[in-house]
Structure 1
Amino acid sequence: MATVNEKWLSRQKVDAATMNRAAYQPIRTLSDPPYFRATGIGNTAAIQKETSISWMESDTAGGFRTSNMTDFKPPVPGIYWVTATIAMTTPSTMDGTQSTAALILQVGTTSKAGSPAILKGFTTTKVKGSYQSVHVAGLMFIANDQTIWASAEGIGGAWTKPKSGNPATSLASFSAVLISADATSL
């Protein structure tokens, strides 16, 4: 997917071919934007300390790629709409009256400069044996040299995958879709 790098001076004359390149490519990109969607927590049965989430399945389009089902690389830099959701069962060690447990979900980017978390969400509960879910969503600028990741952390004991009749892929998901091609910041 080619990016458009057209720069014009004030009052500069621009021919039709140049104008077409500047208008057509972004419209073409956004009419069928790059995206990925990953589902199902695949790498762990219980979460206590911060853990990078490895996903069971993924669906990508437009050039998104992953080599490890943990980090996803977009085909072009830009602003992406990103969502992540996980559902877990509260720690079995909770007494249901005194202790409180928390589940934290983070989404961030990784590059040579580091791995900052950009989106964060959490839930807390005193209810023993319940299912709790955390959802985060927002806009993220992802540069050319960055990948996107999700992690979870359980506080107050080991949070486990729900033991329900639902498939694991319906209880956790992570996605991103390009909404502004060639953006340079958020």
Structure 2
Amino acid sequence: MSVVPRPEIVTGDDGLARCAWGAADPEYRRYHDEEWGTPQHDPVRLFEKVCLEGFQSGLSWITILRRRPAFREVFHDFDASQVAAMIEADVERLLGDARIIRHRGKIEATIQNARATLALDQPLDELLWSFAPSPRDDSPVSFAEVPSTTPESTAMSTQLRKLGFRFVGPTTMYALMQAAGMVDDHLAGCFRSNAERHADEAAAAVRA
């Protein structure tokens, strides 16, 4: 597949073309290559993503990504039952922990989201993936083509709010969909995009 070089796609020192945001910082590169856009069904990791996307609101994702080990430590590796048992004293303790984002509303929302998760009448992964749209036919060529919200992310947000979740607005939920692989917003030309993967699979089939 021949793609005209453009600023939003960058070829790394390993010869792989990537979305530009995932090419510069080593941690972003690992996240781009291994996580972002990869279908995630583990309920623990999905709960983590719901909470961390909420913490990211108003900040850059790299800020959250670099603090993720500390978030996992203080929130019991995002075990919902343990997080749900946290009390006001825990909130106050975390407000003094400079390793994470010290935002009372977001800390309290994480605890509330754990309680809401435990109260669900279906697994969290089943609930979240019920809002996943049908795969698009073509990868976006530019991030100008990537929306910040969709009808599906708005519907997810509305339902989660009804169920007691907080910091789950439509934009935040679309970011969750991207991160959890419910949508694939890797650009055309990126080695992780659907188009590139399908081309590789077709080439492999021909060689076979």
Question: TM-score with structure 1 length normalisation?
Answer: 0.26
Higher helix share: 2
Higher strand share: 1
Question: TM-score with structure 2 length normalisation?
Answer: 0.24
Higher relative contact order (CA 8 A, sep 6+): 1
